[in-house]
């Protein structure tokens, strides 16, 4: 067992090192990472309990209910934002795979079987895009797969007390787990017919209602991202919601996108053997996440193959795999093949620039950041992908509102990566009317007192200087846009 454990650790460490060096091939979803990195730096420096993003949110726990972040404050003293980001990811990544590896009964002490295990696990699209390609940056929900330990003791070991014990820490990670815990406790009541579990579900329901109502106050501020409201946004009346929900387009998209998540597992799980009790338990645990993702008017909520929203569903499905999986060579090969096809399908829908977010990192870190005289209390603006590199400062994402009306006053610097802004505005959504980089940046020309201090493709850096204004060369920036279009190729 010790030899297998060591081999697994070596594999995991090697794999993580590889993905760090191959990060230029990772996806672009980094925006939300700053929501969780910045409060850690702020609290470490005893500067503020607030977040400067979105005009300033007075929340010290990120934009969800995330008390667990307090555990990571000491690490903010010696980690740059990107290293810190990987550190947060690995605290979820490593324990999950170590737990999972030790729960699988079919493993053998051979190189081939360990390699097969890795192929099996990393072929699952949700894990591939969230842990390997880092599609979504960092979100607290990346810890969700570790719930497999709780569900394992529930479905396999039949130990409800241990199952509850291993679930409780997740109540400190995100408010979503409070909702899941209500259904989890109710599943225990259905499963064991004991009133104490019904009481547990009822008490947690009351606590969840209180958390839902006073979350912003608990989090230290007047604003907070409330997932159950925002995800069901834009509904003015019940009839409006019913009309939207009953539209064929709505139903077809939700059913297609979300059902694809389950397709590979149909191959590996022997559904004939699943007990009715386990089936009911699984449906109840999946229920909350499935419901609010399915009902949401935001289409990305149903992108379960690559978005992070499906991660809370994955551990209960993998627990069924452990208990009822058939690991014959044919089934394993079919499972992996289907997953690879799904991964290719997702990648084919993206554009090359979305996988090249780090291509300008060297210039930013080596040439630009040393030129900027910044302290942790300084306010600056940047595009939302570059912003993560400035998480240890008071950074906000650039817009006319943030330039003109920020409560922090004038930004000390404005940092713009035109390759990203041009791509995001024009290429991502196939805009009918293209907005050039010159037009995009020049809209800020109404703001005086800024001096252009750095200009090298794709970066423009402005510094606040009283009495200055900036002028841009339209022809030069148009050539930059041509470079951006040219770089939007796979090879």
Residue 91 to residue 50: CA distance in whole angstroms: 24
CA-to-CA dists, residue 186 to 204, 205, 210, 275, 478, angstroms: 10, 11, 19, 18, 60
**42 pLDDT tier (thresholds 50, 70, 90):** confident
pLDDT tens for 143-188 read: 999 999 999 999 999 999 999 999 999 998 888 898 899 999 999 9
pLDDT at 24: 47
- Res 226 pLDDT > 70: no
Does residue 233 have a pLDDT over 50? no
Average pLDDT, the chain: 80
Provide the whole-model pTM: 0.85
Burial class (CB in 10 A: 0-12, 13-18, 19+), 402: buried
User: pLDDT-derived band of residue 107, with 50, 70 and 90 as boundaries?
Assistant: low
Q: Give me the mean pLDDT over the 402-408 stretch.
A: 63
Q: Report the pLDDT value the prediction gives residue 443, as an integer from 0 to 100.
A: 80
Q: How far, in Å, CA of 175 to CA of 152, rounded?
A: 22
How many other C-beta atoms can be found within 10 angstroms of the C-beta atom of residue 301? Answer: 22
**pLDDT at position 261:** 92
Helix, strand, or coil (residue 38): helix
Per-residue CA distances from 266 to 177, 279, 352 (Å): 26, 14, 32
Q: How far is CA 338 from CA 120, 144, 262, 324, 344, in A?
A: 11, 24, 11, 19, 10
Residue 351: the pLDDT is 78
Taking alpha carbons only, the member of 406, 398, 484 closest to residue 443 is 398
**What confidence score (pLDDT) does residue 287 get?**
92
Distance CA 90, CA 142 (A): 10
- Give backbone dihedrals phi and psi of 78, rounded to 5 degrees, phi first: -140, 25
94: which residues sit within 8 A by CB, 6+ positions away? 12, 16
Is pLDDT above 80 for 109? no
Q: What average pLDDT does the segment 117-141 reach?
A: 81
CA 235/CA 188 separation, integer angstroms: 34
Alpha-carbon gap, residue 475 to 468, rounded angstroms: 22
Average pLDDT over residues 288-298: 81
User: Are residues 456 and 433 in contact, defined by beta-carbon separation less than 8 angstroms?
Assistant: no
pLDDT digits (tens, 9 = 90+) for 428-479: 655 567 888 998 888 876 566 888 899 999 999 999 888 777 778 899 999 9
Q: Could you tell me what percent of the chain has a pLDDT over 90?
A: 27
What is the per-residue pLDDT for 430? 56
Higher confidence at residue 280 or residue 80?
Answer: 280
Which has the higher per-residue pLDDT, 235 or 377? 377
Tabulate helix, strand, coil % of the chain (nearest 5).
Answer: 65, 5, 30
């Amino acid at each position: 067992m010790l030899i297998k454990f060591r081999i697994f650790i070596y594999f995991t460490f090697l794999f993580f090192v590889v993905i760090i060096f191959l990060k230029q091939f990772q996806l672009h979803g980094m925006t939300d990472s700053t929501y969780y990195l910045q409060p850690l730096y702020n609290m470490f420096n005893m500067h503020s309990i607030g977040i400067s993003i979105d005009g300033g949110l007075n929340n010290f726990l990120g934009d969800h209910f995330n008390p667990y972040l307090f555990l990571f404050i000491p690490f903010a003293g010696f980690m740059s934002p990107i290293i810190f980001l990987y550190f947060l990811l690995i605290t979820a990544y490593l324990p999950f795979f170590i737990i999972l590896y030790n729960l699988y009964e079919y493993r053998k002490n051979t190189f081939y079987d360990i390699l097969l295990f890795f192929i099996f696990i990393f072929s699952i699209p949700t894990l591939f895009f969230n842990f390997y390609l880092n599609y979504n940056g960092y979100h607290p929900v990346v810890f969700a797969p570790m719930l497999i330990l709780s569900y394992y003791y529930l479905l396999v070991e039949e130990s409800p007390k241990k199952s509850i014990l291993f679930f409780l820490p997740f109540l400190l990670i995100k408010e979503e787990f409070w909702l899941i815990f209500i259904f989890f406790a109710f599943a225990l009541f259905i499963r064991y017919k004991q009133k104490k579990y019904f009481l547990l579900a009822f008490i947690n329901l009351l606590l969840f209602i209180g958390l839902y109502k006073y979350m912003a106050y608990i989090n230290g501020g007047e604003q907070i991202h409330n997932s159950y409201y925002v995800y069901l946004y834009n509904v003015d009346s019940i009839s409006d919601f019913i009309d939207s929900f009953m539209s064929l387009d709505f139903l077809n998209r939700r059913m297609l996108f979300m059902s694809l998540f389950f397709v590979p597992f149909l191959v590996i799980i022997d559904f004939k053997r699943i007990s009715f009790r386990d089936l009911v338990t699984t449906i109840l645990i999946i229920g909350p996440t499935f419901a609010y993702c399915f009902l949401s008017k935001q289409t990305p909520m149903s992108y379960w193959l690559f978005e992070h929203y499906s991660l809370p569903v994955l551990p209960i499905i993998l627990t069924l795999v452990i208990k009822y999986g058939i690991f014959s060579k044919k089934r394993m090969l079919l499972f992996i093949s289907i997953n690879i096809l799904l991964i290719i399908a997702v990648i084919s829908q993206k554009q090359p620039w979305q996988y090249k977010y780090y291509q300008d990192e060297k210039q930013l870190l080596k040439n630009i950041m040393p030129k900027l005289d910044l302290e942790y209390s300084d306010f600056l603006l940047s595009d939302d992908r570059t912003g993560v590199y400035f998480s240890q400062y008071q950074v906000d994402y650039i817009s006319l509102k943030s330039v003109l009306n920020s409560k922090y006053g004038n930004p000390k610097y404005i940092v713009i990566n035109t390759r990203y802004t041009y791509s995001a505005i024009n290429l991502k959504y196939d805009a009918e009317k293209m907005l050039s980089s010159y037009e995009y940046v020049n809209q800020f020309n109404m703001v005086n007192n800024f001096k252009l201090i750095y200009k090298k493709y794709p970066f423009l850096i402005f510094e606040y200087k009283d009495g200055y204004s900036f002028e841009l060369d339209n022809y030069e920036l148009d050539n930059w846009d041509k470079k951006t279009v040219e770089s939007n190729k796979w090879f």
